[in-house]
Amino acid sequence: MEPDVSIETPSIIRIAVLPIGTIPPPLLRDYHSMLLRHHTIALSAISSFYTEHQKSPFTNQPWESGSLRFKFVLGGSPPSPWEDFQSNRKILAVIGLCHCPSSPDLVSVTESFNVACRSYSSALVRRCFAFCPGDSQLEDGDKKGENLILFPPSDKQTQEFHLQTMMQDIAASLLMEFEKWVLKAESAGTILKTPLDSQASLNSEEVIKAKKRRLGRAQKTIGDYSLLAGSPVDANAHYSTALELARLTGDYFWYAGALEGSVCALLVDRMGQRDVALEDEVRYRYTNVILHYRKSFIQEIAQRVSPLSFELEATLKLARFLCRRELAKEVVELLTNAADGAKSLIDAKLGYQRKAAFFCRQVAQLYLQQDNRLAAISAMQVLFMTTDAYRIQSRASVSKVSVNNETGTRQPDAGKMHHHSIVSLFESQWSSLQMVVLREILLSAVRAGDPLAAWSAAARLLRWHYPLITPSGQNGLASSLANSADRLPSGTRCADPALPFVRLFSFPLHSSQVDIVKRNPAREDWWTGSAPSGPFIYTPFSKGDANESSKQELIWVVGEPVQVLVELANPCCFDVDIPPNSAKVITLSGIPTAVGPVTIPGCTVHCFGVITEHVFRDVDNLLLGAAQGLVFSDPFRSCGSAKLRHVFVPNISVVPPLPLLVANVVGGDGAIILYEGEIREVCINFANAGTVPIEQAHVSLSGKNQDAVISIADEALQSALPLKPGAQVTLPVTLKAWHVGPVDSDNAVGGGRNAGETQEDQKTELALHCLFTMQVQIWPVSNNGDPQEKESVVPPGRRLVVPLQICVLQGLSFVKARLLSMEIPAHVGDNLRDEDIETESNTDRLVKINPFRGSWGLRFLELELSNPTDVVFEISVFVQLEKSAKEDDSSPVQDSPEYEYPKTRIDRDYSARVLIPLEHFKLPVLDGSFFTKDPPPGTPSSSRHPSFSEKNTKAEINGLIKNLISKIKVRWQSGRNSSGELDIKDAIQTALQTTVMDVLLPDPLTFGFRLVRNGSETKAQSPLSKGSVLSHEVTPMEVLVRNNTSEAIKLNLSVTCRDVAGQNCAEGADATVLWAGALSGISMEVAPLQEARHCFSLYFLVPGEYTMVAAAVIEDANNVLRARARTASPNEPIFCRGPPFHVRVTGGEM
């Protein structure tokens, strides 16, 4: 079936026009159009070329009025199986067109022409027209046989005249060939068959039948040739015979054919004279034709071949003939019938979807051969019918189709119909066909001026077939997309997505660490358990179900921005905002406006000037297909993106507005930089960014290094509640930096994430999880009285996690600690225990030494510190004294238990030493409680060592040291707001370990000297010197022995006096000091915690410095004393020595 059929088609001779060699397309078009002018050649014009070899079978040839008519088929056409049935379907002549300048070798031209002619066995006349030959070609041309005709270069008119002559020649030759053929056919009796006839060998019955039919068919064919030869009268005569014979043999198909021919003959005969009678005749006969075509339908072979197309053709021919305004109704009826018939041909009822699509495409190609807009529109419409069969339908039509086919019962195809399903990918593999059809749709749409259709076709072509399209082809498609978009109004939507490929990447769970917590109305502290406990956000021990459900559900809040991450891929070679052959992840954000469940099936993309909807599922199917090898390539993989990954799509529900708390750390969100041991207050600002007030809030800590947070001023937050929308509250948090060092190895692990930092500053993240529980007032006030209703629906709470990133830098580094001892001899004065001095020493700094009292065995803890940082540190030492250490608690001065030493400044990159005097730590009483248990009474001496078991001693000592150390605090300050405390407990402990007993325990006996004077004398001498002694004067003195233990001690006291050289100057021959009273061997007993005194007098002969030393041997020492003295054996005498006292003797009144 051809689109331009008419009743007169059987009288038109088909000539194939073939380009031979290379001809530029514009020239070919020119030559073709020159030929087209000669579509009708009058018989009168060809008589000069015509020679009658035999008697012509066309006896009634109208030589005066008749004509031959041609149809030039450019490019030729394949032979039709029906050409025996309708001779006008044969290619009866071949005209080659050759452009000599582009094909210089005439021999090869002739050869290729002959080759081309070979496929047209039905051609009776062959001519090759060679235009514009060169001189040499003209010379050669004559020898190249009669079929090659050279058109010498000349003006256009001459050339056309030449062409006309040649066409007349062809017409004459054809006429003569027709005569020959008819004569042969009449005598030989050719067998004529159509595809309707049985293809297999005939059985005997059929042979007889065929023989009978043969005559009728021959007559019909002769009629056809007569018609082609321009002799309708002869044709009519033959057709009449044929009709007669066909009717007799029941050859309905050929009957219809002959009848059709006769109508054509009638019309050709009455050329130009139309009247009602003729019309009625044509209508009557054609109705008959249609009827007989229908009759010839054979059920058995209907699968293979059907005369349906002839029936339709006849209907169309009649419709075209009758097509006038007055007959509109009739024509419409005919066309409706034809359309129904065509539908039945195309319809799935026959199951010949693909064949129908093939024919549709052929029709579209014919339309496309005509270079005009209307034909292009028709072509486009016809091509659209094929899209289903080739699985390239536009998404706009898919929804309808899939619904229609849902009810279909064709089981093997059931899955195929779902375009989106993976199965459809199978049939999508006829890419060669699909691409051709899409390209034709694109071409026809461009020609037809339908930019949207063109865009859609180009988009489909590019999206589904990009791997098969060359880069230049891809660029071409991109430009046609752009061109189409230029003609479309902006904001046009198209159902078919182009590029890029879009797939879901992830759903960010919650923006700004705001978590939503379901509330349990039965519990006051409903948030517990919901907060991540421990350092890991994910704990493997938490209930699996809870974890799953939280993964599957995503809650969005009305009015709060949400985000979805999608990955885009552009596998093509041009730029689509994404560089060629690359992929990238972008964030899409939006704000939910209504409450309810939300699904995200795809996204809208504005690309190439058109808005399209990209459905994620399509891409997922494509990727799945790619993974199974059904599709050419995975666009994401070819773009270097990760391979197929499963993105879990959570159930998203949108809930009514919730309060939204936004936190920021005052002073920037970066890491808080602290030096080791630094204590700092950090303020965190909370603002209600939502639209609902916050009524309840609870702050809790979680994560590592929770100890670093010393305090949170929770009350500041609580007092600010309810926090109205837009309101702010500041929450001070006190932080203390931990110690950086090998001890905190786990901190170092935490800081390992920021590997790029220097080793000295370890970054550690501390998350302060502030759990904000918010009760939202969403009910009217009147309902507040009904608690039941309120509890039935509880809006969820929310958790805000404020990460506190703390970076601890190494501050002052401790080098070593040493214990130093210092001895300052006391002066023997009037009064050993002067209250004034005592008070003064209390109020003043602790290091101040009373010169009269001296400081024997004063010990200092020396700390060596270095400052490796680039700031200056100031160190101050505080010592805390226990109140009980003082005898009189009532003294108001002692309410302040801390003593501060002068500050020590340590510059950067310097070290310094800090001295801490360890004076005031001595215990007041030396008793057994310190040495744990008393020894068993039976073994008072020998079991002394075992009794003080090492373990117990150590534990006691450690306890004591700890107690001591806790009283010493070394604080530092750097700059204005950086201050902290050094953590040097361990260092002090090691330094004190060995000597702690000496530091802490008092000696069992303490000794003191003083001058004994009369009150008047003292006063008189006071202006001179308070503690001075004159020579040559009897100086009464006394030695004071104090028992520091809780038991009475018997002792044997002796006093010595030495001069500057250290010689005992009270004894011997040259003694310089005379004395009265006992100086040695003084036995006395001192009650516990009491003092005993022994008086004596000295007479100094020589002025100078003298040293008084008291010593005692304790008699009957108990175990406590022995332990304190660390005696080796029980029999060893315990010897106590007091500190030296200086006596300055000045020259008296000599």
Partner 1 sequence: MIVCVSVVGHQNNPLYIQSFTDADDALKLHHVVHCSLDVIEERVNNPKKSGTTLNEAFLGLLYPTLNYKVYGYLTNTKVKFILVTTDLDVRDTDVRNFFRKFHAAYVDAVSNPFHVPGKKITSRTFAQTVSNIVGSYGLN
Rounded alpha-carbon distances, angstroms, from residue 797 to 170, 558, 735: 96, 15, 28
In the complex, what is the shortest distance from the CB of residue 373 to partner 1, in angstroms, rounded to a whole number? 26
**522-541 positions binding partner 1, by CB under 8 A:** none
With contacts defined by CB under 8 A, name the span among 73-81, 520-528, 1010-1018, 1058-1066 that binds partner 1.
Answer: 73-81
Specify the stretch interacting with partner 1 by CB under 8 A; choose among 300-308, 456-464, 937-945, 967-975: 300-308
Distance of CA 1138 to the CA centre of its chain: 82
Smallest separation (angstroms) from partner 1 to the CB of 630: 6
- Give the torsion sign (CA, 180, 186, 188, 189): positive
Rounded distance between C-alpha atoms, residue 923 and residue 1002, angstroms: 6
Q: Which helix or strand (DSSP H or E) is residue 947 part of?
A: helix 944-947
Pairing of strands 562-570, 148-151: unpaired
Q: Please, which residue, 2 or 427, has the CB nearer to partner 1? A: 427
Distance CA 154, CA 131 (A): 10
How are beta strands 67-74 and 40-42 bridged, if at all?
antiparallel
Interface segment toward partner 1; rule CB under 8 A; list 415-423, 721-729, 926-934, 1110-1118: 415-423
Find, among 1055, 1021, 1038, the residue nearest to 1097 by Cα: 1038
Binding status of residue 784 toward partner 1 by CB under 8 A: no
Give the nearer residue to partner 1 in terms of CB position, either 45 or 350: 350
| Contact flag: residue 45 with partner 1 (CB under 8 A) | no
Inter-residue contact 730 to 666 (CB < 8 Å): yes
For partner 1, the binding residue among 30, 413, 956, 983 (CB under 8 A) is 413
CB of 629 to partner 1, least distance (A): 4
Q: Does 412 bind partner 1 (CB under 8 A)?
A: yes
Residue 432 found at the interface with partner 1 (CB under 8 A): yes
Q: In whole angstroms, how close is the CB of 89 to partner 1 at the nearest point? A: 11
Asked whether 680 and 708 are in contact (CB, 8 A), the reply is no
Nearest distance from residue 430's CB to partner 1, in Å? Answer: 6
Among candidates 736, 697, 738, which has minimal Cα distance to 718? Answer: 697
Distance of CA 724 to the CA centre of its chain: 36
Contact window for partner 1 (CB under 8 A) among 174-182, 427-435, 775-783, 952-960: 427-435
Residue 81 Cβ vs partner 1, minimum distance, rounded to whole Å: 6
Of 322-330, 353-361, 566-574, 1050-1058, which part binds partner 1 (CB under 8 A)? 353-361
Q: How far apart are CA 288 and CA 296, in angstroms?
A: 12
Q: Kindly state the number of chain residues that form the binding site for partner 1, as judged by CB under 8 A.
A: 33
Build a one-symbol-per-residue string for 615-654: x at contacts with partner 1 by CB under 8 A, - elsewhere.
Answer: -------------xxx------------------------
**Minimum Å distance from CB 459 to partner 1?**
23
CB of 367 to partner 1, least distance (A): 17
Nearer to partner 1, 49 or 352 (CB): 352
CA–CA dist 1046, 740 (Å, integer): 47
**Could you tell me which stretch among 77-85, 794-802, 890-898, 1051-1059 binds partner 1 (CB under 8 A)?**
77-85
Rule CB under 8 A: is residue 353 a binding residue for partner 1?
Answer: yes
Nearby residues of 1022 by Cβ (< 8 Å), 6 or more positions away: none
Q: Which is nearer to partner 1, 422 or 679 (CB)?
A: 422
- Beta strands 493-494 and 904-906 are unpaired
Q: Restricting to residues 180-219, name those near partner 1 by CB under 8 A.
A: 195, 199
How far apart are the C-alpha atoms of 751 and 757, rounded to whole Å? Answer: 9
- Please state the closest distance from residue 50 (CB atom) to partner 1, in A: 34
**What's the CA gap between 838 and 851, in Å, rounded?**
12
**Residue 515 burial (CB < 10 Å; 0-12/13-18/19+)?**
buried
Binding part of the chain for partner 1, among 75-83, 522-530, 930-938, 947-955 by CB under 8 A, reads: 75-83
Burial-class residue 550 by CB neighbours within 10 Å (0-12, 13-18, 19+): middle
DSSP 783: G
Contact (Cβ atoms closer than 8 angstroms) between residue 814 and residue 820: no
According to CB under 8 A, which one of 36, 323, 328, 436 is a site residue for partner 1? 436
Q: Which is nearer to partner 1, 352 or 1096 (CB)?
A: 352
> What's the burial of 268, exposed, middle or buried (CB within 10 Å: 0-12/13-18/19+)?
buried
Point out which span in 430-438, 536-544, 819-827, 1058-1066 binds partner 1 (CB under 8 A): 430-438
351 binds partner 1 (CB under 8 A): yes
Please name the residues in contact with 645: beta carbons below 8 A apart, sequence gap of 6 or more: none
Rounded CA-CA distance 736/605 in Å is 52
List, in sequence order, every residue forming a beta bridge with 1041; answer none if it has no partner: 1007, 1092
Which of 49, 63, 297, 426: binder of partner 1 (CB under 8 A)?
426
DSSP 98-157: EEGGG---HHHHHHHHHHHHHT-TT-SEEEEEEES--HHHHHHHTTS-TTEEEE-S--HH
Query: Looking at beta carbons only, is 198 or 783 nearer to partner 1?
Result: 198
For residues 169 and 48, the answer to whether their CB atoms sit within 8 Å is no
CB atoms within 10 A of CB 118: 10
| Of residues 192, 175, 3, the one with CA closest to residue 83 | 192
Q: Which amino acid is at 484?
A: S
Kindly tell me which of 343 and 905 has the beta carbon lying closer to partner 1. Answer: 343
The answer to whether 511 and 801 have CB atoms below 8 angstroms apart is: no
* 347 interacts with partner 1 by CB under 8 A: no
Q: By C-beta, is 36 or 202 nearer to partner 1?
A: 202
Q: Which is nearer to partner 1, 638 or 866 (CB)?
A: 638
Cα atoms in the Cβ-side hemisphere of radius 13 Å centred on 480: 28
Handedness of CA 434, 439, 445, 447 (dihedral sign): negative
Q: Which is nearer to partner 1, 415 or 471 (CB)?
A: 415
Residue from 304, 400, 724, 962 in contact with partner 1 (CB under 8 A): 304
Shortest Å, Cβ 381 to partner 1: 20
Please list every residue from 361 through 400 that binds partner 1, using CB under 8 A: 361
| Residue 343 found at the interface with partner 1 (CB under 8 A) | no
Q: What are phi and psi of 875, to 5 degrees?
A: -110, 135
The answer to whether 303 contacts partner 1 (rule: CB under 8 A) is yes
Judged by CB, which is closer to partner 1: 355, or 908?
355
Binding mask 79-98 for partner 1 (x = CB under 8 A): xxx-----------------
Does position 473 interact with partner 1 (CB under 8 A)? The reply is no
Shortest reach from residue 437's CB to partner 1, in Å: 10
**Minimum CB distance to partner 1, residue 647 (Å):** 25
Asked if residue 287 lies in contact with residue 321, where contact means CB atoms within 8 angstroms, the answer is no
Least distance from C-beta 2 to partner 1, angstroms? 13
Place of tokens 């020590």: 904
- If binding is defined by CB under 8 A, does position 427 make contact with partner 1? yes
**Which CB atom, from 305 or from 335, has the smaller least distance to partner 1?**
305
Considering only 324, 354, 816, 945, the residue that binds partner 1 (CB under 8 A) is: 354
- Applying CB under 8 A, among 92, 423, 481, 968 the residue interacting with partner 1 is 423
Q: Which stretch binds partner 1 (CB under 8 A): 253-261, 420-428, 442-450, 941-949?
A: 420-428
End-to-end CA distance of the chain: 162
User: Angle at the Cα of 803 (from 801 to 808), degrees rounded to 5?
Assistant: 160
Binding site for partner 1 (CB under 8 A): 78-81, 195, 199, 303-305, 350-355, 358, 361, 410, 412-413, 415-416, 423, 426-427, 429-430, 432-433, 436, 628-630
